[in-house]
Amino acid sequence: MLNKALTAVSELESAYHTWKVLPLVTKKEVVARIKEKLLTHTEQYASAITTDMNKPLAQSVAEVKKCATLCEYYLTHIDDFLRPQPLQSSWTESYVRLDPLGVLLAVMPWNFPFWQVFRVAIPNLLLGNVLAVKHASNVSTAAALLEEIFLDESLGFPIYKNLPLPSQHVEAIIAHPAIKGVTLTGSEPAGRSVAQCAGKHLKKSVLELGGSAAFIVCEDADLTKAVTTAVNARMQNAGQSCIAGKRILVQESIAQSFIEAFTEKVKALKQGDKYDLSTEIGAMAREDLAIEIEEMVKQSLAEGATLRCGGKRTGAFYTPTVLTDVTPTMRVFKEETFGPVAVITTFRDFDEAIALSNQSDFGLGVAIFSQNVDFVKSQAPRFDEGAVYINEMLISDPHLPFGGIKNSGYGRELSYFGVWEFANIKTVVVK
């Protein structure tokens, strides 16, 4: 298995030397055909995602379509992103150009098996890099389909290879001389391991790790909008998202009203057949993940949290759960709750909200709901986060750089930053 993967990396290295020199217009034509596959076979790909990790079909369809949108974004903007940038200097001429590095290793997660791959693959392919992808073992159907999607017979060589490997072989792949960079989306322990190995071999790495984003609701917020958005932010994909609103912080003066409305909306989420397009909440990806969430909730209840709804597990299905009276010392506040569990903590004033938000080892992003937008904007520097969203949940959007600080990782994906991370930023000077 490992030998086969190493051979695939060598094949990609050979292909890279051809791919990188192809005109940008040719690379764009390849990506356009990839986009067309996504739009033509949306239901097939979505069904594979749902089968692999239990995501409700409607959400899987949205994921595939979002990948097509990302393709269109880069097809529209890549010429500008790759255009040499002139710099003022004492020389007759000086500018910076972006050149590819070679073969990249992408270690990808199961929670958004298409989207996470596409947001790495498309900008890097257009730059001229090629990709070896080690996907999560529980989304093998999606992983195989992804390789088919990126296969373009008109080229005669691969630009993308799926490496169906156990995690223990990742270090051997990173060590391969052809690998010039590695990106990982996953857990903090996995990130530390990959970063250590990449550093050992002097290879660039980008890490998109966990998050425990605060969702702050101020007393002057549009309560209806805040409640509706909070339910979506916390419960989509059964709560299995790094950017989910995991710690809901509500100002004391409106806490009762918010909690009542939020709890009712959570209770109303439609459960059922994961292949039914009307289903809103499904089982978690694996039973062990549901068991871990169950244990975290039980521990927090024993420590004084109040159960408003949910708290029951059947196999991999964990009922959407709301906990109130949550304190910063509780496990559900301190750790990342990767499941359909909303924890609600109250605050007195905005200073305390900032302190609670920053009381986390993670720093992926924060969402703040308030009608005093100018004030909140002025406070943005005080948040230890990679993103501040005002009157909106955290979203991974192709137009905007995405990534975190602290234990949420480093580096950025999407926007033009998604091109720069694995580029040779080359200075050219003319005397």
Any residues with CB less than 8 A from the CB of 91 and at least 6 apart, and which? 429, 430, 431
Euclidean distance between CA atoms 29 and 65, whole angstroms: 19
Amino acid 388: pLDDT: 98
Cβ contact 410:206 at 8 Å: yes
3-state helix, strand, coil in the chain (%, to 5): 45, 20, 35
| Arithmetic mean of pLDDT, 114-129 | 98
Phi, psi of 228 (to 5 degrees): -60, -45
Domain map of the chain by residue range? 2-209+408-430, 213-398
pLDDT of residue 330: 96
pLDDT at 229: 98
Residues 6+ apart with CB under 8 A from 345: 247, 248, 249, 250, 326, 327, 328, 333, 356
Residue pair 100/127 in contact (Cβ under 8 Å)? The answer is yes
Residue 343 has a pLDDT of 98
Handedness of CA 404, 410, 413, 416 (dihedral sign): positive
Q: Is 67 marked active-site?
A: no
Provide the pLDDT confidence category of residue 255 given band limits of 50, 70 and 90: very high
The amino acid sitting at 301 is L
**Choice among 13, 63, 208, 413 that is catalytic:** 208
What are the DSSP E strand ranges found in 325-399? 341-347, 362-363, 366-369, 388-390
Please state the rounded mean pLDDT for residues 393-416. Answer: 97
Alpha carbon of 295 to those of 51, 244, 416: distances in Å?
26, 20, 41
Residue 383: predicted pLDDT: 98
Q: Which class is 213-398 in CATH?
A: alpha beta
- Fold designation for 2-209+408-430: Aldehyde Dehydrogenase; Chain A, domain 1 (3.40.605)
Confidence category of residue 424, pLDDT binned at 50, 70, 90: very high
Q: DSSP class of residue 271?
A: B
| 187 band by pLDDT with thresholds 50, 70 and 90 | very high
Q: Which long-range contacts (CB under 8 A, 24 or more apart) does 33-41 make?
A: 33/152, 34/71, 34/122, 34/149, 34/150, 34/152, 35/68, 35/71, 35/72, 35/75, 37/149, 38/64, 38/65, 38/67, 38/68, 38/71, 38/149, 39/65, 39/68
Q: For the CA atoms of the chain, what is the radius of gyration?
A: 22
Residue recorded with tokens 């969430």: 293
The whole-number average pLDDT for the span 289-316 is 97
How confident is the model at residue 42, as a pLDDT? 98
Q: What is the pLDDT of residue 371?
A: 98
Please state whether beta strands 204-208 and 409-410 pair in parallel, antiparallel, or not at all (unpaired): antiparallel
Please compute the mean of the pLDDT values over residues 372-401 and round it to a whole number. 98
Under the banding of pLDDT at 50, 70 and 90, the label for residue 132 is: very high
For residue 149, count other CB atoms closer than 10 A to its CB.
21
Phi, psi of 419 (to 5 degrees): -90, -40
Percent of the chain with pLDDT over 90: 100
Task: Tell me whether residue 171 is one of the annotated catalytic residues.
Answer: no
Of 242, 280, 385, 421, the catalytic one is 242
Provide the mean pLDDT of the chain: 97
Other CB atoms closer than 10 Å to residue 429's CB: what's the count? Answer: 12
For residue 332, the number of C-alpha atoms closer than 13 Å in the C-beta half-sphere is 34
pLDDT of residue 248: 98
